[in-house]
Amino acid sequence: MSLRVAIGGLALATALAWGAPAAAGQSPAARADAAALFNAGTAALSSGDLGPAVLFLLAAHRIDPRARDIRTNLAIARARVEDIQGQGTRESVPMPSALALSASEAWRLSAALALAGTLLAWGSALRPGSRRLFLAASAAFAAGLLLAGFLLLRAREEARHPEAVVVAPVLEVGAAPDERPLPPYLLGAGEVVRIGRTHGDLVLVRVSGNAIGWARRSGLWRVADAARYTARSGSR
C-alpha cells in the first residue's frame, strides 16, 4: 500500500514539475536555439576556428546534452584543441556522457523529488503508523534538496565566475597594470576557463579554481552569451 502511494506521489510530482514550465511559459528572449548553436559550432569547426567552435558546441551541449551530434562535434573540437597545443592524443578525449541532464532538466528533477517527498510526507502524516511511507518521503525529499543544493552551488559559481572560452588564437594572460609583471601565461583558442572581476579592458582569468592573471576581455567569450554571437539563435 505504502509503495503504491509512494509511486503515485512520485509520478504526480514529476508530472507537476515537468508540466509547470509549459503552463507557466518562459521569456522567449531567454531561450536559445540548440540547433542554431550547433550549426554555428559545426561551421566554425569546419573552418578551423576552434575557439568559436568549442564555445557554440558547449552552449548547445548545455541545452541538449544528450544529443549525439552535439556530443560528437564537441569531442572533436576539444580533441583538436588539445592536438594543437601538443597535449594528449585525439583518441584520449572522451565523448561527453549520454546520460547528462541540462540545467533546467536537473532543476525540474530536483523540484519533482522534493514535491514527491512532500506528498509522501503528507501521506505519512495522515497515516501515522506507516513507517515505510515516512522513509520514502524523507529519502525523496532529501534527494531533491541535495540535488537542488548542488545545482545552486553550480549556478552561484557560474554567476560569480562565468565559464568562458578563449576565442583569440593565442591569449596572453599576465599581471594587472598595477601589479608586478609576471612571465606571460598563454592560452590557446578553444581552452575553457572561468573569468572573474574586470579591470578596464582586462578580465581576471581563473583555471582550476585559481586566478592565473589578467587577459583581454575581447579574447574570451562567455558560454552564457553564446547565443548573442550567432545570427539565428536567441529567439523563438
Binding residues for other proteins restricted to 5-44, rule: CB under 8 A: 16-17, 20-21, 23-24, 26, 30-36, 38-39, 42-43
Q: Which of residues 109-168 bind other proteins (CB under 8 A)?
A: 110-112, 114-115, 117-118, 121-122, 124-126, 128-129, 134, 137, 141, 144-145, 148, 151-152, 154-155, 158-159
Indicate the DSSP class of residue 14: H
With respect to other proteins, which residue has the nearer C-beta, 7 or 21? 21
Kindly state the smallest distance separating residue 11's Cβ from other proteins, in Å.
Answer: 15
Beta carbon of residue 167, minimum distance to other proteins (angstroms, whole number)? 11
Give the DSSP H/E element, type plus range, for residue 202.
strand 202-207
Three cell numbers written together for 133: 511511507
Q: Which is nearer to other proteins, 197 or 228 (CB)?
A: 228
Closest CB to other proteins among residues 79, 195: 79
The whole-angstrom separation of Cα 144 and Cα 117 is 8
* Cβ count within 10 A of residue 73: 23
CA–CA separation, 18 and 213 (whole Å): 43
What's the closest the beta carbon of residue 6 comes to other proteins, in angstroms?
Answer: 14
Q: Which stretch binds other proteins (CB under 8 A): 3-11, 179-187, 192-200?
A: 179-187
Number of residues that bind other proteins (CB under 8 A): 94
**C-alpha cell of residue 33:** 536555439
Q: What is the DSSP letter of 174?
A: B
Could you say whether residue 192 binds other proteins (CB under 8 A)? Answer: no
Closest CB 112 distance from other proteins, rounded Å: 8
Furthest C-alpha separation in the chain: 70
Query: DSSP state, 36?
Result: H
Task: Return the CA Rg of the chain.
Answer: 22
Measured from the CB atom, the residue of 151 and 192 that comes closer to other proteins is 151
C-alpha cell at 202: 582586462
Report CA torsion sign: 184, 88, 81, 95: negative
Q: Cβ(180)–Cβ(162) under 8 Å?
A: no
Q: What is the smallest separation between the CB atom of 69 and other proteins, expressed in angstroms? A: 4
Minimum CB–partner distance for residue 209 and other proteins (Å): 17
Pattern 43-72, binding to other proteins, x per CB under 8 A? x-xxxx-x--------x--xxx---xxx-x
Closer residue to other proteins (CB): 197 or 216:
216
Residue type present at position 1: M
